Amino acid sequence: MSESGPAPDTESCERHTEYRALISDIPEGERPRERFMAVGPAGMSQRELLAILVRMGPRGIGALALADRLLQQFDGLSGLARADLADLQRVAGIGPVKAVEIKAALELGKRMILSAPDQQRTQIKAPADAAQMLMLEMGILEQEEVRALLLDTRNRVLSMSQIYKGSLNTANMRIAEVFKPAIRANCASIIVAHNHPSGDPAPSADDVKVTRTLVEAGKLLDIDVLDHIVIAQNRYVSLKERGLGFDS
């Protein structure tokens, strides 16, 4: 009697063959990994970078098609960053492992911004510099948060502190809480920021009132309030640029 090994996993073999066929349908110079090695990350589109992460889709769906599906369903990268693991796994082809890998990659991008060593710390030369640092994460928040950038005497960012979550108004904000991290860090100045989940960064009357109070408190504490920035998705407003709450 002849011996034989275990029966092959027919479904697994079919999936593997199907995946190879899908990849082979893409011209070699257009395959995401090959393009990444040829042109580098800056030359890649969002869908191509995401396709490298997801690697392959469900049966009959390639990695690029799955990346398109994710970007469309979550309305781009910002929506993808807002989605939790359960949301991602509702997309066919995204299991727990892929969901974790996508969220981990997005989180690394966020953390990279403030991870530079002292000699490479970001220097804030204009409101756009501060907004660029904050917008990636604050622009996708679903609840209002107040944060502060702590700066040294050369306007280099020492750290970013989360002050609290909740609507920004004089009724529920304690001014001392805003300055507490700055006092502990012995920093020279701060830039205060909060987000508008509505997507409209236009400052409210309360925003202007709070700004005026913060500026006056900063003078007493010898900590300059350089700006108050309102963040929305891909947009921002500098109250300093508009002369709101920074009375001369």
The predicted model scores a pTM of 0.60
Q: Read off the DSSP letter of residue 126.
A: S
The pLDDT of residue 237 is: 96
CATH class of the 118-242 domain in this structure: alpha beta
Count other Cβ atoms within 10 Å, centred on residue 100.
Answer: 13
Domain ranges of the chain: 10-112, 118-242
CATH class of the 10-112 domain in this structure: mainly alpha
Q: Is the pLDDT of residue 145 over 80?
A: yes
Most confident of 11-25, 59-73, 110-124: 59-73
The pLDDT of residue 3 is: 45
Could you tell me how many residues make up the chain?
248
Which residue(s) pair with 230 in the sheet? Answer: 194, 237
Report the alpha-carbon distance of residue 60 to residue 18 in Å, rounded: 7
The pLDDT of residue 113 is: 60
